[in-house]
Amino acid sequence: MVPKDLRSFIEVLEQHGELVRVREEVDWNLEVGGILRRIYDLGAPAALFEKIKGYPSGMRILGAPMGRGRRSVYSRHALALGLSPEAGYGEIVRAYVERKNRPFKPKRVATGPCKEVILRGDEVDLFKFPVPFIHEGDGGRYLGTWHTVVSRDPVEGWVNWGMYRMMVHDRNNTGMLIPPIQHMGRMYQKAEAMGKPLECAVAIGTDPASVIVSCAMLPDRVEEVDIAGGLLGEPVELVKCETVDLEVPASSEIVLEGYVPAGERRSEGPFGEYMGYEAGRSGARPVFHVTCVTHRKDPILTVSNMGMPIHESQVVMGITMAGDIYDELIKLGLPIKMAYMPPYGVTHMIAISTDTPYMNFAKRVAHAVWGTKAGSMVYYVIVCDSDIDVTNFNEVIHAISTKCHPVRGIHQVPHAPSYAYMVPFLDAKERPIGDGAYILLDCTWPKDWPKEALPVKSSFDVLWPKEIRDKVLSNWQRYGFPEG
């Protein structure tokens, strides 16, 4: 069963040993962040902090909700999709792709749990919530680290759900990092050019499907709410906001409503980011003015601690982005077998296995990757033959070391688009304008080599006849070895 809201997801995590209720008092100032960092490092369960210093009973934080699981990196992601926590990467990717291709339009409802408390105007105070100061050196307390930002294109009218970090400036204003390469960034550029504010709504503590699609890199004009319905297997229930012309998931724990005015900037950042560095330094960035807050009674604030792998963005974005790229390449008719984003590649690297029907096919694959929305953040593409299990990076490293020629197998693409502001390897001139680069590592055998020239893999499944392999496998425990 796919969890339909955050609280049912918490129950599922607890049932499978993927959640700890922390009843000891913790401090929002760095202690919560330190605990979460340790959780990610160890692959420990998610934490539901039930007593936070300076805040009344009932104000809670759910930390590391979809971080690295106890059984595997992807256990919590699997549970979020209603799969077994033992589900493998390939099973999760295929489930994501199949469901996203069966979307559901949302269902509008009159009200929902997120309307239990409604605060407008002078009643708004973002410090009412236990917003954590996560990393030493952060520019402030970050309210938006695992959430959904809703905005509408001011010209075309389609709605985007995305995830854009939010630093609290004061009781009713936050900073927002909305890069122009992202959908909301482009929407804001249009609104600003028109001299108009961009209305926004921020849903915190939604059902896991909604936050998963908020991490996805879907094409223009594909509305994430429809894809979230596909992941849920039914329409997402939406309620209308109080002060802006937008809708949010009715089951949300906390909803912020407001607008980002044209021309206004305040200093935002720095913040320990998803690449594992404090690379997104402070800068003059747009301001979100909060006009209304609605929330459940006893709301739960969801928090992700970005930093060194592995945390939510590597887990969730690795699945969604690789799945989206895999889906787009299959729809182009390319003979792709699997696409894998290794968690430590922080969504900037992808390994793809494929049949190679003609010369230089790896280049065709790489450029197809870079032509997708998700591929705009992928700087390193590794293309392997179909006999390589790209989800096993030991095999990928072996393929790079033995099949990728150090000169003719490496193809550089200078001056490629980049995720401006935050990419650590960009220099001071490149970062502000997003002037990056791409590289292809071609680990496929050249098509002009005759078959007899291809090296034969020295592996159990290739260099021994089937009858010997079967005998060895069937007698393994009789030889005295443990089952494996």
**pLDDT confidence of residue 217:** 87
397 backbone φψ class: left, alpha, beta (φ>0; ψ -120 to 50): alpha
Question: According to the model, what pLDDT value does residue 337 have?
Answer: 97
Between CA 99 and CA 80 the distance in angstroms is 13
The catalytic position among 192, 273, 278, 328 is 273
Q: What are the pLDDT digits (tens) for 322-380?
A: 999 999 999 999 999 999 999 888 889 999 999 999 999 999 999 999 999 889 889 99
Whether the domain at 6-303 and the domain at 332-453 fall into the same CATH topology:
no
Average pLDDT, the chain: 92
Structure-model confidence comparison of residues 269 and 149, the more confident one = 149
Q: In a 3-state reduction of DSSP, which class is residue 180?
A: coil
Q: What tokens appear for 182 in the block?
A: 């992202």
The CATH H-level (homologous superfamily) assignment of domain 332-453 is UbiD C-terminal domain-like (3.40.1670.10)
Examine the residue annotation and report whether 24 is marked as an active-site residue of this protein: no
Q: Where are the domains of the chain?
A: 6-303, 332-453
CA-CA-CA-CA dihedral for 470, 476, 477, 483, to nearest 10:
-90
Q: Are strands 349-354 and 380-385 parallel, antiparallel or unpaired?
A: parallel
Q: Which of 260, 285, 244 is nearest to 190 (CA)?
A: 260
Residues 6-303, CATH architecture: Roll (2.30)
More confident residue, 129 or 451: 129
DSSP states along 217-234 = -PPTT--HHHHHHHHHTS
For residues 187 and 180, what is the distance between their CA atoms, to the nearest angstrom? 9
**Taking Cα atoms as reference points, which of 213, 260, 210, 262 lies closest to residue 236?**
210
pLDDT value of residue 454: 84
State what percent of residues in the chain have pLDDT above 70.
Answer: 98
Query: Tell me, what's the pLDDT at 144?
Result: 94
The 10 Å Cβ neighbour count of residue 408 is: 9
